[in-house]
């Protein structure tokens, strides 16, 4: 399958780097909204097998109530709408602690983080972390890249990405016009910020329509 081929190179990279490290290997997957980070991350973890776990930056979205207080509900997903410090703290624990570490998930229906959704066990050697701003360089995000052993940037054409985003927004309850407005508005603004960070990645994965 074509999508399987996309993870061949990341798989080699991860396997090369893992044996030497005393700490857990942290693999970062960055990319714009809808680029396919979660999909690639899931596939990579599946291929790595037992001992690998996926953690998403999405678990650090601020709560809806907090976004409303901040007047940022309509920009959910922008760099300042995440608990960056909490995310950095989690990455440091994942990297340096030999203990079991709990990580949050994200519910796309309620659009709220889900505390403790993921357990990273003591014998987990590789953590694949995926999210928009792993390579962002201000607002506290600059502390993320130094905690990654290797970073990958998922690059995909804008039209494909937009179509996927609109489909996803509709699947999780937005009307057609709302889905397009969100994809072309806040998502697009975030995509521009994310794309500006691609040069910091160790590897860029160029993915076509079928992956
Ligand atoms: N290579 C691919 N080919 C076809 N559809 C894909 C591919 N990668 C992702 N998708 C679909 O596109 C949407 C966005 O992918 P996702 O992995 O959630 O992106 P991200 O995590 O970067 O926002 C999802 O609905 C997913 O099923
Ligand atoms: Mg995702």
Cα separation, 33 vs 81, whole angstroms = 15
Other residues' Cβ atoms within 10 Å of the Cβ of residue 32: 25
- pLDDT at residue 207 tops 90: no
Instruction: List the domain range (segments joined by +) for residue 160.
Output: 2-207
Q: For the chain, how many structural domains are there in total? A: 1
**C-beta pairs of 89-94 under 8 Å, 24+ apart in sequence:** 90/55, 90/60, 91/26, 91/129, 91/144, 91/147, 91/148, 92/147, 94/24, 94/26, 94/55, 94/120, 94/127, 94/129
Q: Tell me the best of 2, 4, 39 to mutate to test the pocket of ligand 1, counting ligand atoms within 8 Å of each CB and taking the most.
A: 39
The closest residue, in CA terms, to atom 16 on ligand 1 is 36
User: Higher model confidence: residue 189 or residue 23?
Assistant: 189
pTM: 0.94
The closest residue, in CA terms, to atom 15 on ligand 1 is 36
**pLDDT value, residue 208:** 67
**pLDDT value, residue 12:** 82
Cite the beta strand spans of the chain per DSSP E: 25-31, 52-56, 101-107, 112-120, 126-130, 150-156, 203-207
Instruction: Name residues with Cβ closer than 5 Å to ligand 2, which is an ion.
Output: 38
Cα separation, 58 vs 108, whole angstroms = 10
The mean pLDDT of 114-135, rounded to a whole number, is 97
Q: Which residue is associated with the tokens 């700490």?
A: 23
The closest residue, in CA terms, to atom 17 on ligand 1 is 36
Angle between the 8-17 and 37-48 helix axes, to the nearest 10 degrees?
A: 60
- pLDDT at residue 169 tops 50: yes
- pLDDT at residue 124 tops 50: yes
Cα separation, 118 vs 36, whole angstroms = 20
Centroid of ligand 1 to alpha carbon of 142 (angstroms): 26
Cα separation, 123 vs 128, whole angstroms = 14
What is the CA 155 to chain-centroid distance, rounded? 13
Q: How far is CA 36 from CA 86, 115, 157, in A?
A: 24, 23, 11
User: Higher model confidence: residue 26 or residue 6?
Assistant: 26
User: Higher model confidence: residue 2 or residue 26?
Assistant: 26
Centroid of ligand 2 to alpha carbon of 108 (angstroms): 10
CATH number for the domain including 65? 3.40.50.300
């Amino acid at each position: 399958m074509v999508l399987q081929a996309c993870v061949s190179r990341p798989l080699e990279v991860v396997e090369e780097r893992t044996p030497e490290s005393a700490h857990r290997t942290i693999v970062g997957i960055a990319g714009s909204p809808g680029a396919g980070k979660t999909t690639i991350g899931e596939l990579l973890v599946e291929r790595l097998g037992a001992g690998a776990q996926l953690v998403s930056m999405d678990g650090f979205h601020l709560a809806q109530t907090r976004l409303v207080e901040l007047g940022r509900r309509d920009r959910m997903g922008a760099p300042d709408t995440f608990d960056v410090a909490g995310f950095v703290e989690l990455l440091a624990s994942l990297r340096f602690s030999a203990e079991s570490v709990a990580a949050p998930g994200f519910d796309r229906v309620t659009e709220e983080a889900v505390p403790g959704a993921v357990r990273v066990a003591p014998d987990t050697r590789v953590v694949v972390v995926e999210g928009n701003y792993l390579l962002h360089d201000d607002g506290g995000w600059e502390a993320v890249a130094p905690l990654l052993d290797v970073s990958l940037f998922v690059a995909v054409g804008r039209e494909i990405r937009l179509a996927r985003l609109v489909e996803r927004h509709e699947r999780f309850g937005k009307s057609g016009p709302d889905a397009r407005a969100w994809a072309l508005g806040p998502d697009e603004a975030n995509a521009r910020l994310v794309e500006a960070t691609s040069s910091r990645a160790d590897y860029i994965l160029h993915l076509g329509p079928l992956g």
